[in-house]
Structures are given as structure tokens and as C-alpha cells.
Amino acid sequence: MAGKVLLHGGAGEWNISKDEEERVKDALRKAVMAGMKALKKGSALDAVEESVASMEDSSVLNAGRGAYPNIEGDIELDAGIMDGKTLSAGAVASVRNVPNPVRLARLVMEKTQHVLLVADGAERLAKGFSLYEAFKLSTARKKRYTAEIRKFIGQKWIKDLPIAFEKHLDTVGAVAIDDEGNLAAATSTGGTAFKLPGRVGDSPIPGAGFYASNGHGAASASGVGEAIMKYLLCMKVVASLGSLASPFSVLKTEINSLRGVYGPELAGVVAIDSRGVPSVYTDTKAIAIGYGVADGSTRVDIARKEKLDELNTLLIRQIPG
């Protein structure tokens, strides 16, 4: 089986300038290449870690160095990773000064007996493995944060919290399958812009923001974490990928079911089934994606919802873009 990596840079409106779009696509392209390089040397698990770490380092997506701040201007990061072969998972939440929380999540999975570590406890582990590094808001995030926070000065911030002033919700994630058929998934985020300190969404919760199981599939989600978490979106997607249904139809069914319970424009998912069939779907205006196959073909796109049928056909045919 040919190895594949499918990743996302978030679902949402993606109403950005051409220059911003090119920076995002460049970040996605680098992440695909990082994942494919890891896949050639190692496993699906290595591929999703490297793809997500690359996006965390890009400073243009809502993860790692490019994360949104909370209402007090602090960066708190969440991430999770899962090995479909063993069903092992690791995650971290509300960590500060850990620019690659996906690497820390893998350490939780492989070096501890736990699944989820948070805040100070996770940061102590990071220090022990040289993953702790003080860093500040990226220039782009700081500029946007400063402009938005001025609108709310003088208000009672808990009552009037301006949830998600950024509409493209660019959490990052990746799924992969290696040449032995092993599957893996990972997701990383800075969380909702202007969130309350300590808020944790779906990204570090196995079954919610990510899930992988050999023989079924792997999925990574982006969107409004509270809805995704309550619905356990990725768990439901992966369970359904074990059937003979097409992955695209599975994603449409589950995301539309979530829509029926919690409302519209809440989530996007990338997935690969056990046959290696990739799929992308979102209920939002668009989703940023990157895709790579073992022969070196790659594709990156900020795909509009109305173009997803065409995109999924292209991904299955492995046509480079």
C-alpha cells in the first residue's frame, strides 16, 4: 500500500488576502513534505507528528508559534496524537511555552502511563525533554489581537467574551497511512481566540478532535471545539469508516448530523480509511488542506465547500496540484 498524508490548516470562512493565502499554502506545502519525508523513513505516526510540528512552526496557523492568545493575551496550547496500530494516545492541554505541543503529546503517550497532561504538569515534562521554550505572540497575531481587544476595553470580559473573532478557525491536524497499512492522527491548536484562561476544546480529546484505528481509519477535526467534543465527531467518523461506505459520504453524514444537533458551520474533518482512501469535508465556508502520496505528488488548497466533491475526486485519483 502506498503511504499517504492528508492534513488540514483549519475549517472556517478563510476570507483572507492573496498574500495571506500564499503564506498559508506555503505552510501547508512544507507540512506535507515534512510528513512525506517522515513517512519514507518511519511510520504513519512519525508522519502526522512531523506534519503537525511543521504547521506549529509556521507562525501563520492557529497552533504553536502562530497560536491565538486567550482573553488575557497569553498563549495556551492543546494537542493530541494517536497510533491506530496500538490504539495508544497522548495529549496535552493549556500548556504555555511549548511551541511544539504535538511532540509533547507523543511523549505523554510513549514515556508515561497517562493519556492527558495539562498546564504545569505537562510543562514540567516538556522541560525534562527539552521541549520547553519561552515564546511570544507572532507579529501577525499580536497586530490582530491588539486591534480587536481595543473594541472590548472597559467591558466585563467574562460576560462579553468576543468568541472567535477569527472566522477561519485554523486549528491544524493530520492523518496518515503507511505502506504497512498503519494509521495515525494528530491535532494541535491555540484554541478559540479570546478564550477564557484554561479553556480546553476538542483538539486534545481522543475521539473528539482526533482518532485512529487500524482496520477502520483516521480522522482529525477543526472547528468549534465545544460542539465537536460533545458529539465525539472523530470517533464516530472512524467507526463508520470501517464499513464499505465511501469516506466522503461518511464525513458528510457525520458532520451533517452534528449540524442537526448543534447548528451550522461548526466543523471540518480530514480522514483516511483503512484502504488508503482520503477524504475532506466541512460544513463551514472552506477548509485549508494539504495532501501527499508516496510517489511524491502533492496538493494544497483552501477548498471552498461547493468544490469539495471535485476535490475529493482529485484526491482519490492522486492528481498533483
**pLDDT 10s digits, 182-203:** 999 999 999 988 788 999 999 9
Across-strand partners of 6?
175, 291
* Per-residue cell: 248: 466522503
Across-strand partners of 288?
10, 302
Least confident of 129-138, 215-224, 311-320: 311-320
pLDDT band per the 50, 70, 90 thresholds, residue 149: low
Give the pLDDT confidence score for residue 320 in this predicted structure: 44
Q: How far apart are CA 61 and CA 230, in angstroms?
A: 25
Amino acid (1-letter code) at residue 54: S
Taking the whole predicted model, whether its pTM rises above 0.75 is answered as yes
Q: How far apart are CA 31 and CA 8, in angstroms?
A: 10
Active-site residues: which are they?
A: 171
Give the pLDDT confidence score for residue 1 in this predicted structure: 72
The domains of the chain are located at 4-66+74-317
Query: Among candidates 1, 41, 4, which has minimal Cα distance to 218?
Result: 4
CB 271 within 8 A of CB 278: yes
CB neighbourhood size of 162 (10 A) = 14
* Per-residue cell: 43: 511510520
Scored b (16 or more CB within 10 A) or e, 166-201 reads bebbbbbbbbbbbeebbbbbbbbbbbbbbbeeebbb
CB neighbourhood size of 308 (10 A) = 21
> For 19-43, what is each residue's pLDDT tens digit?
999 999 999 999 999 999 999 988 9
* The CATH number of domain 4-66+74-317, selected from 3.40.50.300, 3.40.50.450, 3.60.20.30, 3.40.50.10880: 3.60.20.30
Q: How far apart are CA 312 and CA 278, in angstroms?
A: 8
